[in-house]
Amino acid sequence: MKKFFLSLLILTPALLNANNYIELNNTNDFDSLINTSDYKGVVVDFYATWCGPCKLLAPFIQKLAQQNPSILFVKVESALRSLHNRFGIRSIPTVAFFKNGKEVKRIIGLNKNSIKVAMNSL
């Protein structure tokens, strides 16, 4: 029981924007998030705070989250280097689409139209 509440405490600061929009603060919960069965898919935005195109993409991703409550949106900042390395992220922004824990699509760069089209893969 304590472990469950501890997990909630770790995730709570990240859940401030919306129920389906998470700004990940640590790498511990990433695998459980992309493997969740609570959503029909997961969109992961790999970004950096200093990246101009990432800043332009952020409001678009937030709007998509509001318009698609059945999809989980997770933002992963470049400071979480182990996740960027694990998924071979070499350019940002990179938006990866996961279904049943597996990556099904990846969009590199500021390409809003391609991101909208890729949402259909979930």
Average pLDDT, stretch 12-28? 70
Q: Are 95 and 118 in contact (CB under 8 A)?
A: yes
**Which of 11, 48, 51, 108 does the annotation list as catalytic?**
51
| 54, 72, 92, 115: the active-site residue | 54
Decide if 54 is catalytic.
Answer: yes
pLDDT at 9: 35
What's the pLDDT score for residue 37?
85
Give the residue-averaged pLDDT of 34-45. Answer: 92
Burial 33-67 (b: 16+ CB within 10 A, else e): bbeeeebebbbbbbbeeebeebeebeeebbebbee
| Active-site residue flag, 80 | no
- The DSSP secondary-structure symbol of 12 reads G
Say yes or no to pLDDT of 44 above 70.
yes
- Give pTM, 2 decimals: 0.83
Of 5 and 101, the structure prediction assigns the larger pLDDT to 101
Q: Give the homologous superfamily in CATH for domain 2-121.
A: Glutaredoxin (3.40.30.10)
- Asked if pLDDT for residue 62 goes beyond 60, the answer is yes
